[in-house]
Amino acid sequence: MQNLKNHLKTISKFESAVSLLSWDFETYMPPKAAQKRAEIIGEIAGHAFKLFTSDKTGLLIEKAESEASSDIDKAVIRVAKKEYEKAKKIPPELFKEFQITTSKAQHFWEIAKNENNFAIFQPHLEKIVELTGKIVDCLGYKENKYDTLLDQYEPGLKTSQLKKIISYVKPFLVNFLDKIENGTKPDDKILTGDFSIEKQKKFSEKILDFLNYDKNAGRLDVSAHPFTITIGAFDVRITTRYSRSDLKNSIFSTIHECGHALYEQGIPEDFRELPIGEGASMAIHESQSRFWENIVGRSLNFWKFVYPTFCEIFSEFENVPVEKFWKAINKVERSFIRTEADEVTYNLHIMLRFEIEEALINNKISVKDLPVIWNEKMKEYIGVIPEKESDGVLQDVHWSHGSFGYFPSYMLGNLYAAQFYHTMTKDISDFDERILQGDFKSILNWLREKIHSKGKIYEPLELLKNVTGEDLNPEYYANYITKKFTMIYNL
Ligand code: CO
């Protein structure tokens, strides 16, 4: 067991180097260095992959299996074995072809998006879908090809379960969106203007302090797309972005990434450099970021607490009542762009993508029809049709990466967050009061004890059941949305 752990820790150190180089790539690296840097990252990542897929790993896992007694050791073996067997099933030539295809596709996706022309991206996406199908065939599947893709991000979750959840959430959201039309629409003009980047930075730093992000074990920087990255133990970094005309963007990007980082900072030290030393799944990770961003960060009590600090920095808000500000940041809109979507419409954007992906991988639709299918679904779910392909089918980078199966994580994150929140308020009955007082520590401690300290020991649905005593139940999300937006829209 110890030999296996040492071997995995060695591999993890190479991955740490890759993380640091990648972080620098996205933040401070001079632009001319990009090409060479990509090569260096590729070389080291390739080396780590080779080490992991070597026969040595297989032998060490086999030997350790008979020795493992503790739950932690068993989990290390379970996660390592699953990854190892998966990696071994994909022929290196296919893996390489997939990598070359996707890196080319990203380039053409960018051009297609800029030129607002799906046809430029189409052949590349066709190739990606074809190769993804081949990879799924190598990995195997029982009921639905999409299960295999979903399993990469949300281990244990089946497509049939996801469809069942959607069959509840979709009609709920479509109806609720209609209902909101009759409510009082918040006025969000106050959120547009010219806001100093310096002031936004200052406020972002304040928020991180309030939320107990450990700055001695991390830092906040700027990148085109905000992200959180764990370089290694005691080094979990986040980025945000600042826009002079859009105040919301930096505030909620910072809180969102802080949520991811709090999870990573809460992983136990003795899990570090092991396969269990990370979040349980993509969606559990997203549940943490969205819990802090939406359930805490877009609540009235949160703003009642931070508003004095906020107004000290942005004096132009001194005469804006906090309730007005809170309503403005929660305005619901039938809009085209997923990343800018509010809490009510967001999951509809995800369902549309999931349905397209699932149909694509099972050869029920073809890539060339995507622009039409996209618009039909937009009309049906959200009620608007984008005029440009760049605001529609071309808006997300994910498919050019070949990341099929990833999108549902965002929706599941919202559902998990609401279910965790429900359980939390049973344990912390004065939750609202604590937020109002700025006592975020007791809330964080709850998450630490129930979720963060477990790392990747449990599969996501198992963890959810351990924490909440229930299987995934989308009613908690529906109740949360109904209660909150009934108040905001005076329904
Ligand atoms: Co996130």
Statement to judge: residues 165 and 100 lie in one domain? no
Greatest alpha-carbon pair distance for the chain in Å reads 68
Tell me what pLDDT residue 92 has. 87
472 domain-assigned: yes
CA of 257 relative to ligand 1 center, distance in Å: 6
> Would you call 459 exposed, middle or buried from its count of C-beta atoms within 10 A (0-12, 13-18, 19+)?
buried
Statement to judge: residues 229 and 326 lie in one domain? yes
Choose the catalytic residue: 15, 154, 257, 357: 257
Backbone angles phi, psi at 371, to 5 degrees: -60, -40
Statement to judge: residues 231 and 91 lie in one domain? no
Asked if residues 165 and 472 have their Cβ atoms less than 8 Å apart, the reply is yes
CB atoms near residue 184 (< 10 Å): 11
Statement to judge: residues 216 and 120 lie in one domain? no
Note the pLDDT tens digit of each residue in 70-128: 999 999 999 999 999 999 999 989 988 998 899 899 999 999 999 999 999 999 999 99
Domain hosting residue 68, numbered range:
2-144
For residue 233, the one-letter residue type is: A
CA of 289 relative to ligand 1 center, distance in Å: 6
Nearest to 16 by CA among 219, 253, 200, 277: 277
For residue 470, the one-letter residue type is: E
Domain boundary residue among 144, 176, 201?
Answer: 144
pLDDT tier at 375 (50, 70, 90 boundaries)? very high
The CATH number of residue 197's host domain is: 1.10.1370.30
Residue 485 pLDDT > 90? yes
Note the pLDDT tens digit of each residue in 406-433: 999 999 999 999 999 999 999 999 999 9
CA of 139 relative to ligand 1 center, distance in Å: 27
Domain count for the chain? 2
Statement to judge: residues 124 and 179 lie in one domain? no
Domain boundary residue among 110, 144, 178?
Answer: 144
CA of 241 relative to ligand 1 center, distance in Å: 14
154 domain-assigned: no
Note the pLDDT tens digit of each residue in 9-43: 999 999 999 999 999 999 999 999 988 998 999 89
Tell me what pLDDT residue 103 has. 86
User: What are the residues facing 228 on neighbouring strands?
Assistant: 238
CB atoms near residue 178 (< 10 Å): 10
Statement to judge: residues 108 and 185 lie in one domain? no
Residue 181 annotated among the catalytic residues of the structure: no
CA of 343 relative to ligand 1 center, distance in Å: 14
pTM, to two decimals: 0.96
Scan for tokens 């995995």, then name that residue. 8
292 domain-assigned: yes
Domain boundary residue among 144, 170, 205?
Answer: 144
Averaged pLDDT, 263-275:
96
Statement to judge: residues 69 and 169 lie in one domain? no
pLDDT tier at 235 (50, 70, 90 boundaries)? very high
Statement to judge: residues 252 and 374 lie in one domain? yes
Nearest to 264 by CA among 244, 284, 242, 291: 284
State CA 251 to chain mean position distance.
17
Statement to judge: residues 442 and 310 lie in one domain? yes
Statement to judge: residues 58 and 107 lie in one domain? yes
Contacts of 413 (CB under 8 A, 6+ apart): 282, 283, 284, 285, 286, 287, 289, 290
Statement to judge: residues 127 and 172 lie in one domain? no
